[in-house]
Every structure is written in C-alpha cells, then in structure tokens.
C-alpha cells in the first residue's frame, strides 16, 4: 500500500506539470498575439499610407504634407497637434520637439532611458523596461517593447549604442520641450 506522502507527492507533481504546460501554452499564445497585433498594425499603416497617396492633391507626393492619424479625420481634428494620442504614429524627431507628441507608452520608454542616462546607469534593455513597467517579463511582452523601442530608434528618439540596448538620442528634449 502506497504511503500518504507518496500519494501527495504524485498529485503535487501532476499539478506542477499541468501548471508548467499551461504556462508554456500561455507564453505561446502571448507570442502569437504579439505577432498578430504587429501584423494588424502593419496592415493599418499600409491602408493609411495608401489612403494618403490616393487622396493627396498633388498626385501622390507626400514629402511635404503633414501626416495625420487618418486623412479622413484631418478636418475634424480639434486637439492640439502636439498632444499625445493613444495609438498614434511615432513622428520623426526634430529639434525642439517634446515627448508630449508621443503616445503614453512611447513616452514611458523614452523617460526610462532618460532617467537611466541622467543617473549614469547607461542604456536599458527591453527586459529591464518590462520589469520597470511592472509587465511580465515574457517573450511576447519583451518583443512588444523591443518593437516600440526599435520604432523610436528609426524615428530618431532613441539611439541603440549596442544591440538590444537603448538610450535617448542626442538632442532629444524632455516632456515639456526645449533642449
């Protein structure tokens, strides 16, 4: 006859295996969700760009035109142009442009990098960002942050001095503007 402790250990082991399996499945689903969200964003951007080109009065040249969230909403835009908008595109950084033009998520990333640079702690990794923001440090969340950080690098808000390490780009001003 098996011992009570032995039976409890068997049930505990089975429960732990189930938890581990469910965690792996959740991580897989989170990764799939992040990939699906990225694809969705890319299609939305593509549609907006096609709308912009098709609706451009000068035959499709958008070099000098201002990019808005949705060209059909350009006349209805009543908020100030520098106000942060949820799900907004990241504008190209230029001298004097404040962080307030970025959405809250992007502002948090730039702020964390600036705080670390100010304290002499160097650049920040995406895992460190996730931990600092109180987000689960799982591949899906880290990759979502990496995507945002890379977008900020591409638009001139952040620099990537070493692969996977981010810091504010030279000249990027604080949330209120200025230098």
Give the whole-angstrom CA distance, residue 144 versus residue 130: 10
0.75 exceeded by pTM: no
Give the whole-angstrom CA distance, residue 109 versus residue 130: 10
Give me the residues paired with residue 124 across strands.
Answer: 166
How do the pLDDT tens digits run along the chain, 179 residues long?
679 999 999 999 999 999 999 999 988 998 888 889 899 999 988 888 888 888 766 555 544 444 444 443 444 343 344 444 445 578 888 888 887 888 888 989 999 998 988 898 989 999 999 999 998 889 999 999 999 999 999 999 999 999 999 999 887 766 655 44
Q: What are the start-end ranges of the H helices in 56-157?
A: 104-118, 126-132, 139-154
For residue 160, give the nearest of 119, 121, 113, 116 by alpha carbon.
113
CATH topology of domain 82-179: Arc Repressor Mutant, subunit A (1.10.10)
């Amino acid at each position: 006859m098996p011992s009570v402790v032995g039976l409890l250990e068997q049930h505990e082991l089975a429960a732990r295996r189930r938890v581990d399996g469910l965690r792996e499945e959740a991580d897989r689903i989170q990764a799939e969700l992040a990939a699906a969200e990225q694809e969705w964003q890319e299609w939305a951007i593509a549609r907006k760009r096609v709308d912009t080109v098709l609706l451009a009065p000068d035959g499709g040249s958008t070099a000098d035109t201002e990019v808005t969230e949705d060209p059909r909403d350009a006349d209805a835009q009543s908020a100030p142009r520098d106000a942060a908008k949820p799900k907004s595109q990241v504008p190209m950084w230029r001298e004097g442009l404040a962080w307030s033009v970025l959405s809250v998520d992007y502002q948090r990333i730039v702020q964390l990098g600036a705080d670390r640079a100010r304290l002499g702690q160097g650049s920040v990794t995406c895992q460190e960002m996730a931990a600092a923001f109180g987000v689960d440090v799982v591949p899906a969340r880290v990759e979502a942050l990496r995507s945002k950080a890379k977008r900020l690098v591409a638009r001139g808000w952040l620099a990537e001095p070493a692969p996977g390490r981010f810091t504010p780009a030279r000249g990027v001003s604080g949330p209120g503007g200025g230098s």
